[in-house]
Amino acid sequence: MEKKFKIALVQMNSEKAAIDRNLHLMREYIVVSRENGVDIICFPEMNITGYIDPTKYSQAVITRDHMAVSQVVELSGLYSICVIAGFVEHNPGGKPYITQFVAHNGKLLGFYRKKTIKDEEAEWFAPGDQLPVFSVSGMTFGLSVCADIDDPEIFAEYARKGASIVFESAAPGLYGEQETRNWASGFHWWRSKCMEQLGKYAADESIFIGVATQAGRTIDEDFPGGGYLFNQQGVCIAETEDWSEGVFYVQVEI
């Protein structure tokens, strides 16, 4: 028997190292989403800490038991919602992790550490090695983060583990000078990548894939935004119009 779920995919502007500011914005998105009957809200990669260079913003590299994580868990209980959010996680054994976590109805369900660490990120971050699945109200899902889009095996493994949907949280920084930023070209670059790769994975594995991307200008870097939902045939059935910040509502039947 199919069950309908309403999902919010947030294209959030997450300032670097501005944890309190980012938590305040999260709460606003959660409140509005719950008023719209949302079951699951998905935020972009590193939305709590911002996409930081951990050597430059070491104060924003936080532990799993940091108050920011606890506050998000509390919000999930206060508003009876499932929240997917991200931060830069302290690693006592080496480079920090890029981490997403899931909170539902006031409980912390678990964490996912970004597995695909390459190019310039390899200088700053360590890869994770686990692909956990989560179950909320009858929906089983997995998490992927930004460059994970380049590893089809991640999506195949989630499908083998019974996931009906994978949430791709991203923060692909745009190249070039901020002063002459071409937002349209950045947006269309990321959109094309999602259409070509995530559409194929969704069709190959018969899963839904939802995308939430950091959006807008930060202190020293810009992000393209873009929210998408691919169905089990690989068709993008809903998407944001442009690179603007905001929340994007979609409905799926699992």
Q: Which two tokens stand for residue 156?
A: 């195949």
**Could you report the per-residue pLDDT of 47-79, keeping only the tens digit for each?**
999 999 999 999 999 999 999 999 999 999 999
- With a pLDDT cut of 70, the percent of the chain lying above it is 100
DSSP single-letter state for residue 6 = E
pLDDT of residue 93: 94
Give CA–CA dist 55/168, Å, rounded: 26
Query: What pLDDT sits at residue 215?
Result: 97
pLDDT for 186-202, tens place per residue? 999 999 999 999 999 99
CB distance 232 to 202 below 8 Å: yes
pLDDT tier for residue 178 given thresholds of 50, 70 and 90: confident
Interval 235-249 mean pLDDT: 96
Using CA atoms, how far residue 184 sits from 87, 99, 112, 173, 190, in Å, is 27, 29, 31, 14, 10
Q: How far is CA 174 from the centre of its chain?
A: 17
The confidence band for 231, taking pLDDT boundaries of 50, 70 and 90, is very high
pLDDT in the model for residue 175: 83
Q: What integer pLDDT is reported at residue 106 of this predicted model?
A: 98
Evaluate if residue 1 carries a pLDDT over 90.
no
* Position 180 pLDDT exceeds 90: no
Residue 232 falls in which region: left (phi positive, over 0), alpha (psi -120 to 50) or beta:
alpha
- 96-129: per-residue pLDDT in tens? 999 999 999 999 999 999 999 999 999 999 999 9
Q: Is 198 helix (H, G, I), strand (E, B) or coil?
A: helix
Average pLDDT over residues 207-222: 96
